[in-house]
Amino acid sequence: MTTKFISIEGIAKRYPAAAGGSTTIFEDLWLSMPSGEFGCIIGHSGCGKTTVLNILAGLDEPSEGTVIVDGQAISGTSLDRAVIFQSHALLPWLTVMGNIAYAVSSKWRKWDKTKVRAHAQTYIDKVGLTGSEHKRPSELSGGMKQRVGIARALSITPKIMLMDEPFSALDALTRGTLQDEVRRVTLETGQTTFMITHDVDEAMYLADKIFLMTNGPGAVLAEIVENPLPRDRSRIDLHKHPHYYALRNHIIDFLVTRSKTFTATTPHHDPRHVPVVRPAFPEAPTMPSLHSATR
């Protein structure tokens, strides 16, 4: 396993501006993630998170720079990189089974129908939708639809899962259960996952690394926060952990104040070597290591 399974190398995105010039959403963005890690990107609305994710997915192209996944520069979309869309994006004329089978048969074109359905069924079971196979998306609740989206992404056994605010449209209770499921499944399968969220607690529960982006336009990746909470953390007990408030305050502080002032106050920020911090109680960062934190 390389330490740079995903490597975003100096990408920029510019859009033509009204007055002839161009607006830079972000530029010179470097970011990397090892295999099996869960990364969350947090930043204010409009800073370019979706754009980064879409470039990673291959749905959008950077104006400059490249993205390297598993040693190869990406071009266009790939079955290796599954996307869970914010709006779930299920095909409404297909059933739950039909939606997942569509993905499965797209990946394994030579499989016959029974094999496709059997494979799809295991993922339907995995997300707890057994019994709803023949329902149309319109007959499902928001949470169930998002489960189908997750099952569809998982069913093609991608190398990377990309999620754009997958739970933001759900109520808190459903969101919680789905977070549990995503955490369970990604830990089980060692899935490399990249997720956008606005929910600090969600990031703290799910992510190994949290990428903090400053406000756009001209957004930069300001800091990489390593999650000091133990790997076997549970959502319910998260706030009881000694490092919980240190981590949470650090992120909130960034979002509330530093995200606006960062560019002005940090003139020597090197986008290729973004500082890695590990907020902890009672004192400053220790050497980064995933299992060093104790309960």
Partner 1 sequence: MIQSLRFRAAVVSIAIFLAFIGVWHLATRQTASVGTMSPEYAKLMGLTATSGKSAMPGPLDVGAKLWEHLKRPFYDNGPNDKGLGIQLAYSIGRVGLGYLIAVIVAIPLGFLIGMSPLMNKALDPFIQVLKPISPLAWMPLALYTIKDSSLSAIFVIFICSVWPMLLNTAFGVAAVRKEWINVARTLEVGTFRRAFTVILPAAAPTILTGMRISIGIAWLVIVAAEMLVGGTGIGYFVWNEWNNLSITNVIIAILLIGIVGMLLDQILARFTRMVTFPE
Instruction: Look at residue 62 and give the partner it binds from partner 1, ligand ATP, Mg ion, none, a contact being a CB closer than 5 to 8 Å depending on partner kind.
Output: none
Q: Each residue of 108-120: b (16+ CB within 10 Å) or e?
A: eeeeeeeebbebb
Nearer of residues 6 and 52 to ligand ATP, judged by Cβ: 52
Considering the complex, what minimum distance in angstroms separates the CB of residue 77 from ligand ATP?
17
> Are 241 and 291 spatial neighbours (Cβ–Cβ below 8 Å)?
no
Query: E strand or H helix at 19, and its extent?
Result: none
Instruction: Look at residue 83 and give the partner it binds from partner 1, Mg ion, ligand ATP, none, a contact being a CB closer than 5 to 8 Å depending on partner kind.
Output: partner 1
Residue, CB closest to ligand ATP: 50
- Dmax (CA) for the chain in angstroms is 60
Say what angle helices 142-155 and 96-107 make with each other, to 10 degrees. 20
168 touches partner 1 by CB under 8 A: no
Instruction: Look at residue 276 and give the partner it binds from Mg ion, ligand ATP, partner 1, none, a contact being a CB closer than 5 to 8 Å depending on partner kind.
Output: none
Considering the complex, what minimum distance in angstroms separates the CB of residue 79 from partner 1?
5
Residue, CB closest to Mg ion: 50
82 touches partner 1 by CB under 8 A: yes
> Are 201 and 213 spatial neighbours (Cβ–Cβ below 8 Å)?
no
Q: Tell me which of 25, 31, 84, 97 binds ligand ATP, using CB under 6 A.
A: 25
- Judged by CB under 6 A, how many residues of this single chain contact ligand ATP? 11
**Could you tell me which residues come within 8 angstroms of residue 64 by beta carbon, excluding any fewer than 6 positions away?**
10, 11, 12, 27
Indicate the SS3 state at residue 247: helix
In this structure, what are the phi and psi dihedrals at residue 161, rounded to the nearest 5 degrees?
-110, 135
Q: Each residue of 177-206: b (16+ CB within 10 Å) or e?
A: ebbeebbebbeeeebbbbbbbebbbbbbbb
106 touches partner 1 by CB under 8 A: yes
Nearer of residues 127 and 213 to ligand ATP, judged by Cβ: 213
166 touches partner 1 by CB under 8 A: no
Alpha-helical segments (H) within the chain? 49-57, 96-107, 113-126, 142-155, 172-189, 200-206, 244-253, 259-265
156 touches partner 1 by CB under 8 A: yes
Considering the complex, what minimum distance in angstroms separates the CB of residue 49 from ligand ATP?
4
103 touches partner 1 by CB under 8 A: yes
Indicate the SS3 state at residue 58: coil
Q: Pick the stretch among 48-56, 95-103, 238-246, 250-258 that binds ligand ATP (CB under 6 A).
A: 48-56
- Judged by CB under 8 A, how many residues of this single chain contact partner 1? 24
77 touches partner 1 by CB under 8 A: yes
Nearer of residues 90 and 212 to partner 1, judged by Cβ: 90
Q: Tell me which of 18, 19, 45, 76 binds ligand ATP, using CB under 6 A.
A: 45
Q: Tell me which of 56, 57, 100, 293 binds partner 1, using CB under 8 A.
A: 57
Indicate the SS3 state at residue 233: coil
Q: Among residue numbers 50 through 79, which ones bind Mg ion (CB under 5 A)?
A: 50
